[in-house]
Amino acid sequence: MAYRINPRRKASRQVRKAALDRISGALQALALPAERRAEGVHQARKRFKELRALLRLVREPLGRQFARDNIGIRDLARTLAESRDAAAMLESWDALAEGHRAVFITEPFRQVRRRLEARAQPAPGQADAWEQHLEQVRTQLQALAGEVERWPLEGKGFALLQAGLERTYRDGRRDLALARREPSDERLHEWRKRVKDQWYHSQLLTPLWPDAFEFRSDQLKRLSDALGDDHDLAMMLALLQAEPELFGSAATRERLQRLIDKRRATLQAEAFALGARLYAEKPGALVARWRCYWRIARAG
């Protein structure tokens, strides 16, 4: 299921194929057996993110169809979020523990992890309801596949993608500037969404110049991961404030918060340093350069 657009082939056909491949991948992930359900949900949500980034790349030619399908995919992803979020909290805890093993092996911190693990377990009777819910999601995905076949993708070659690419990159620069000015949880999270768009678009257009775009994709992945880890820690802080009993005594909570604050400062510094380089170019210049790469790759 290659997530690529080849400049030597018809662009609209490549876009449809990439979209249908994402839908097929999500359906396969959601069909995994019950013991692999957490993995399946995680993979399906990745396919949804790739699909929404693809939609943004062809936002202009899609017109009103963009809003309908984008909202539909967003809502599908949200219905799967709750089960994933509890598992992500454990992953975030374990990642933080990697840098502070002496603290996290103490009994108070071990107790906190056990409570978080219990919180991630499905409630009795939830399995049957969840299976019915997954069947509804699968039905909606199959209907979406039919919509993709009717997408109004007018425009040839790079022109089909140019407006969407420029818009999402410009939005990323704007959200970086806003996050620098006020690094709130909300602004950092919004920036991360646009970073992921640029990451996915760089992957899609890797055939333009594989070495250069693979490197850019790797750096955007680093940036997205730093912002994602920061967001997960922000969610942990929010849970700590909402349900302090999960995190033990006041002393344990204070120690944990200090560790989280220190780690978030490091992650944000890394993100802003990477972002300054990855978003240094003005939108028009980046698009013009990539358009040249498209022409060169097509002629090669």
* Tens-place pLDDT, residues 2-59: 799 999 999 999 999 999 999 999 999 999 887 888 788 889 999 999 999 999 999 9
What pLDDT shows up at residue 136? 86
| Distance, CA of 209 to CA of 193 (rounded, Å) | 24
Q: Model confidence at 133, in pLDDT bands (50, 70, 90)?
A: confident
Gap between the Cα atoms of 289 and 272, Å rounded? 24
The predicted-structure confidence for 166-192, as pLDDT tens digits, reads as follows 999 999 999 999 999 999 999 999 999
Residues in the chain: 300
Place of tokens 């992957």: 203
Q: How confident is residue 124, by pLDDT bands cut at 50, 70 and 90? A: low
Mean pLDDT for all residues in the chain: 93
């620069």: which residue's tokens? 173
Percent of the chain with pLDDT over 90: 81
**What 3-state DSSP class applies to 217?**
helix
> Residue 227 in contact with residue 184, Cβ under 8 Å?
no
CA-nearest of 162, 163, 172 to 293 is 162
pLDDT of residue 169: 98
pLDDT at residue 13, rounded to an integer: 95
CATH value of 11-299 in 1.40.20.10, 3.10.129.10, 2.30.40.10, 1.10.3720.10: 1.40.20.10
Total-model pTM: 0.93
Confidence of residue 126 (pLDDT cuts 50, 70, 90): low
- Long-range Cβ contact pairs of 87-92 (< 8 A, separation 24 or more): 87/38, 87/42, 87/120, 88/232, 88/235, 89/116, 89/119, 89/120, 89/232, 89/235, 89/236, 89/239, 90/116, 90/117, 90/120, 91/232, 92/229, 92/232, 92/233, 92/235, 92/236
Upper half-sphere CA count for residue 282 (Cβ side, 13 Å): 2
pLDDT at 131: 76
- Residue 195 structure tokens: 């970073």
Per-position b or e across 239-256, b if 16+ CB within 10 A of its CB:
bbeeeeebbbeeebbebb
| Lowest mean pLDDT segment, chosen from 148-152, 221-225, 266-270 | 148-152
pLDDT for res 36: 86
